[in-house]
């Protein structure tokens, strides 16, 4: 659970939960293996670098970049021995400038590592910048992304016999439903609503109509929840 005042942002885009995403490019005989991980903190991002150093222990470079937080306040990068500014910064820019919708650049909670095996042909500074940027950008084009929204949780206490019907009606009305809690004397449905007054008022009106005014929503805290991205 997260307090709504901790972030100005109410939504952002991130990597879908699941295993690390991998993609490989060959550029002038050098191998560029990009690994993306969903990272909610710096510890997770740095662990990705450490694990890939162990896995690809014979690679020449393990360059990295990560962006963390709904407001993207934490941004770090490393060239890992490549000429200064030719790897980490291009990778970071590929993350922060990635458009997740027309005109929207809100990718966060993501770390990227590019493992390079030198192929014997020097790329030069400009070539390295393009290679590392392209490696991350191409991986992002193929990686599964989700929209993450800060939603207001609201409880709705109803009789056990009515819980199933009401939950189905609310889902059919387009509301996002969190887990239902079954207590001794009632069931508590939990709605996840956009964190703004009009959305909560609209939900209150819909609940009143469905329950003939016998039940009302009780707003609780907020939570970040993954929702499908709109096509």
> Which among 46, 41, 103 is positioned nearest to 80, based on CA atoms?
46
Q: What is the pLDDT of residues 27-59, one digit of tens each?
A: 999 999 999 999 999 999 999 999 999 999 999
Q: Using pLDDT thresholds of 50, 70 and 90, give the confidence band for residue 231.
A: low
Q: Residues 4-143: name the CATH superfamily.
A: Impact, N-terminal domain (3.30.230.30)
CA distance 132 to 135: 5
User: Looking at residue 3, what is its pLDDT?
Assistant: 44
Q: What is the pLDDT of residues 95-115, one digit of tens each?
A: 999 999 999 999 999 999 999
- What pTM was estimated for this model as a whole? 0.82
Asked if residue 204 lies in contact with residue 216, where contact means CB atoms within 8 angstroms, the answer is yes
Q: Using pLDDT thresholds of 50, 70 and 90, give the confidence band for residue 2.
A: very low
Asked if residue 170 lies in contact with residue 210, where contact means CB atoms within 8 angstroms, the answer is yes
CA distance 8 to 140: 25
150-227 folds as Alpha-Beta Plaits (3.30.70)
Q: What is the pLDDT of residues 138-176, one digit of tens each?
A: 999 999 999 998 989 999 999 998 899 999 999 988 888
Specify the domain boundaries for CATH 3.30.230.30 within the chain.
4-143
Mean pLDDT of the chain: 92
Specify the domain boundaries for CATH 3.30.70.240 within the chain.
150-227
């Amino acid at each position: 659970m997260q307090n709504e005042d901790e972030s100005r942002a109410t939504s952002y885009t991130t990597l879908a939960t699941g295993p690390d995403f991998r993609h490989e490019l060959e550029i002038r005989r050098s191998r560029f293996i990009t690994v993306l991980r969903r990272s909610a903190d710096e510890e997770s991002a740095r662990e990705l670098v450490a694990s890939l150093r162990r896995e690809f222990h014979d690679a020449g470079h393990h360059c990295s970049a990560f962006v963390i937080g709904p407001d993207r306040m934490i941004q770090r990068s490393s060239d890992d021995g490549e000429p200064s500014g030719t790897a980490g910064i291009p990778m970071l820019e590929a993350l922060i400038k990635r458009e997740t919708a027309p005109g929207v650049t809100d990718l966060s909670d993501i770390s990227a590592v590019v493992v390079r095996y030198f192929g014997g042909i020097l790329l030069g500074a400009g070539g390295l910048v393009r290679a590392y940027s392209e490696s991350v950008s191409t991986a992002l084009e193929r990686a599964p992304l989700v929209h993450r929204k800060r939603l207001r949780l609201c409880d709705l206490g109803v009789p056990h016999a009515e819980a199933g019907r009401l939950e189905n009606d609310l889902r059919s009305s387009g509301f996002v439903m969190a887990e239902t809690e079954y207590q001794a004397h009632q069931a508590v449905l939990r709605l996840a609503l956009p964190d703004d007054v009009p959305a909560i008022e609209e939900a209150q009106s819909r609940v009143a109509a469905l329950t003939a005014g016998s039940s009302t929503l009780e707003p609780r805290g907020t939570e970040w929840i993954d929702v499908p991205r709109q096509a």
